[in-house]
Chains A and B, each alone.
Chain A
Amino acid sequence: EAEVAQSPRYKITEKSQAVAFWCDPISGHATLYWYRQILGQGPELLVQFQDESVVDDSQLPKDRFSAERLKGVDSTLKIQPAELGDSAMYLCASTRQSWGETQYFGPGTRLLVL
């Protein structure tokens, strides 16, 4: 069964360093989401892509976060510079289309900023 892939699974970095996370959605899924999940909370949407276009990045802290999906397939989320408050689980999810369909989640990347 096809699954959403994410790497790395764990990342430890020092504050002010740059980090990048990668997501490969299920083949054929046009919509891709990045979520941030702080410990003890539910996932919060950071950015949504439809193919290679950003649908919504209103919750993305654009001074330090960037996301791209250049060919409309896999995606990269970058943080530069990382801050202590960025420590969280970063989840990627995908759907065939955005409306009314199940979101399939990846295993996540757990980031610890020291």
Chain B
Amino acid sequence: AQRVTQPEKLLSVFKGAPVELKCNYSYSGSPELFWYVQYSRQRLQLLLRHISRESIKGFTADLNKGETSFHLKKPFAQEEDSAMYYCALSTGSARQLTFGSGTQLTVLP
């Protein structure tokens, strides 16, 4: 069965510092991975997906099949990046999402 692991429940960094949110997955097939974000008092929304290979709000994520990881990175964190971040794996013909337990990122001034 597929699984997504986000080892850090809480992560705090100072403004301007680099940030990396870790995500590891287990899946025997070809994975499709996403990062979803939930800002305070807002709904869950897509941040980025690995097949797009794009940078959103300065964030990037590279799929490493050898390490089964999809870590989210940003070189210079901003206070507005403070939010809950969920890594998600899409599997099967119905493309269902399996979510990790989330990492609460706090960017300190």
Q: Which residues of A contact B (CB under 8 A)?
A: 3-4, 33, 40-45, 48, 50, 55-56, 91, 93, 98-108
Contact = CB atoms under 8 A, between A and B. Distances in A.
7 contacts: A42-B88, A42-B102, A43-B99, A44-B99, A100-B32, A103-B97, A105-B45
B90 A91 contact: no
Contacts of B46: 102-103
Contacts, number: 52
Please tell me the size bucket of the interface on B: 20 to 34
Contacts of B44: 43, 91, 93, 105
B97 to A, nearest CB: 7
B99 A56 contact: no
A45 B88 CA distance: 12
Interface in B66-95: 86, 88, 90, 93-95
Interface in B30-62: 32, 43-46, 49, 51
Contact of A42 (B45, B51, B99): B99
Contact of A40 (B95, B99, B101): B101
Nearest to B86: A42
Interface-centre pick from A4, A41, A48, A103 (highest chain B CB count, 10 A): A103
